[in-house]
Structure 1
Amino acid sequence: MQWTSMLAIYFLFFVFSAFVLLPFGVRTHDEAGVEKIPGQADSAPVEFRAGRLLLRAAILALVVTALYVANYINGWITVEDLILWGPSTGAE
């Protein structure tokens, strides 16, 4: 696998990880006991920490990309393993 392919796969996992991790660790004003600004949504976070989110997403994407590349090299899970229906390839 080329390094540019690994970089593209890492970027895809990074974006996916950021969206998956977005709701974790968020506290609303009611949970924190802080006064809300008039017109503010009830679900708005008290403090949005983009740096912490990006760091967590980068670490998670690195782990998932490493597992993906290791699977690509070693062939632990192949396309044939993912077929759940259809004609069987072996004896029954």
Structure 2
Amino acid sequence: MTDQYRTYARGLESPAQQHFLIVPADGVDLPDRPRMLRVLTGGDLSMRDINGVVVTLTVLACETIYFSPVGIEATGTTATVVGWV
């Protein structure tokens, strides 16, 4: 496949290029910090930010979460999500 944009620098407004399944784990940083999250299976999602603050949201399948968490906590998470980078 030809990528006609390969010579352009990627900015924060650029679309993501890859995704990875996130396995929730309490107090463990994600291997790659995603630009955003995509919900595969709805439920509760506990996200940890750069200050260690955890917030739990109820999310729906196919929802996009425009947040770049440091970690996804196992405690309180029932949703399945992927990270986009």
- TM bin (shorter chain): under 0.3
The TM-score normalised by the length of structure 2 is: 0.21
Structure 1 or 2: more strand by fraction = 2
Larger radius of gyration, structure 1 or 2? 1
Structure 1 or 2: more helix by fraction = 1
The TM-score normalised by the length of structure 1 is: 0.20
